[in-house]
Amino acid sequence: MKRNLELSVPSPPTWIEAVMADFSSFLQDHADCERKASGFAMSMVAKYPDRTEIIPELIETALEEMEHFKLVYERMAERGITLAHVIPKDLYIERLMDLRRNGREEHFLDRLCIGSVVESRGAERFHLVEEALEDSDMKRFYKMLWTSEAKHGNLYVNMALHYFSEEDVYERLQWFNEREGEILERLPIRAALH
């Protein structure tokens, strides 16, 4: 069975051009995103301690994202790039999070759907980065990352399927997918993941 959905809109060529034109800034933002992805998985553990079926996978995901953070930071340090001192508001995530419904079950499903679409977008964009890079070590690195984020995209859907019907999960995922595309298209293009 298909576990995720196609993204509603592909990233425009202007996005990868902006990233390649200022790769140091992109790395700084990328590191922050990995740290936040780890925090997101752990926030699910903290908010839903009764959902014991998915806690081991959430912990595993948080560890993988933290490992990504470590690996990005190592590559930054090798290049003399520091972490960002000022972390701008993440409008992409904020706007997605604003769409969560009230109600315990609805809120839970919406968080998992947001997790899935954000991971799927990350996979799409890291794939574009892999294709655009020339350095073979960095190419391999971004290939490892996009395959991992694609897996995370599926993982959040699988978690939702523990608790909700296929129909409910895919309908909501499709809805978030469409909103995600709209949000992304309205954000300015920067040398950043979103």
Interface residues with Fe ion (CB under 5 A) are 34, 37, 65, 68, 119, 149, 152
Burial class, 126, CB count within 10 angstroms (exposed 0-12 / middle 13-18 / buried 19+): buried
Q: Which two tokens stand for residue 192?
A: 């950043």
* Least distance (Å) between residue 151 CB and Fe ion: 8
**193 vs 20: CA distance, rounded Å:** 12
Angle (deg, nearest 10), helices 13-21 and 23-47? 110
**37 vs 40: CA distance, rounded Å:** 5
**90 vs 30: CA distance, rounded Å:** 12
* Least distance (Å) between residue 158 CB and Fe ion: 14
Nearer Cβ to Fe ion (38/179)? 38
Nearer Cβ to Fe ion (123/184)? 123
Nearer Cβ to Fe ion (68/194)? 68
**51 vs 38: CA distance, rounded Å:** 18
* Least distance (Å) between residue 34 CB and Fe ion: 5
Among the listed residues 142, 132, 150, 106, the one whose alpha carbon sits nearest the alpha carbon of residue 6: 150
Nearer Cβ to Fe ion (110/119)? 119
Element (H, E) at 79: none
**140 vs 10: CA distance, rounded Å:** 22
Nearer Cβ to Fe ion (137/167)? 137
* Least distance (Å) between residue 104 CB and Fe ion: 25
Nearer Cβ to Fe ion (71/161)? 71
* Least distance (Å) between residue 141 CB and Fe ion: 12
* Least distance (Å) between residue 124 CB and Fe ion: 12
